[in-house]
Amino acid sequence: MKLLILAFLTLFHSTFAHSELLEDPYLFYNSKKEYLCGQNAVAPYFGLKTPLKIEKLVINRKLDQALIDAKYWKKDFTCHYQVLVNLDEENFQFKSTQSVITGSNKVDNCNEGKQWLDMIFDQGSYKYIRGNTLISLRPSNQITFCRHEIEGLDFQLYGIQL
């Protein structure tokens, strides 16, 4: 059983440890809730009707930085977005420091979505719920998915790097 748990944690480590933005990843979170738009949509829409999925959040061992991972797509391309945010533990505020985007096609197709996500994750507040098993991010800029306002983005803990 211990070997299985160790292999499972190694998988999480290899998924995020190679990010150039976040050093020493420690707590791994999945998005707790998916937002659906209409019957045929599989993800929320933002900007110019582009599906968006905010997938993961990883916090470093010092608990002072987090990496948010998202993707969005259209018919002919997929864009992967990562933003590094500083976490102020005293005031429970976050502030973006750097973001990167990669695309399956031309990165130019991804720039508009990157600008929008940069505005959303520029700054905001966060809180831990039930210790650190849940974290809720509340960006200062309004989030609207499918024409519905969203108060925050909730993430569920799924792994710890030992």
The pTM score is: 0.78
Strand 148-150 relative to strand 143-145, pairing = antiparallel
Q: What is the pLDDT of residues 39-68, one digit of tens each?
A: 445 555 566 567 778 889 999 999 999 999
User: Whose CA is closest to 66, among 25, 111, 15?
Assistant: 25
pLDDT at residue 84 tops 90: yes
pLDDT at residue 37 tops 80: no
User: Whose CA is closest to 82, among 50, 47, 120, 117?
Assistant: 117
Give the pLDDT confidence score for residue 154 in this predicted structure. Answer: 85
pLDDT at residue 119 tops 80: yes
- Rounded to 5 degrees, what are φ and ψ at 62? -75, -10
C-beta separation of 106 from 126 below 8 A: no
Parse the chain into domains and list their residue ranges.
2-160
Cα–Cα dist 138/158, whole Å:
20
pLDDT at residue 36 tops 80: no
Count CA within 13 A, CB hemisphere, residue 16. 30
**Quick one: average pLDDT of 4-13?**
41
C-beta separation of 54 from 68 below 8 A: yes
User: Whose CA is closest to 87, among 162, 29, 159?
Assistant: 29
**Quick one: average pLDDT of 104-120?**
78
For residue 90, give both structure tokens. 């005293």
Cα–Cα dist 99/96, whole Å:
8
Q: What is the pLDDT of residues 134-151, one digit of tens each?
A: 898 888 876 655 555 666
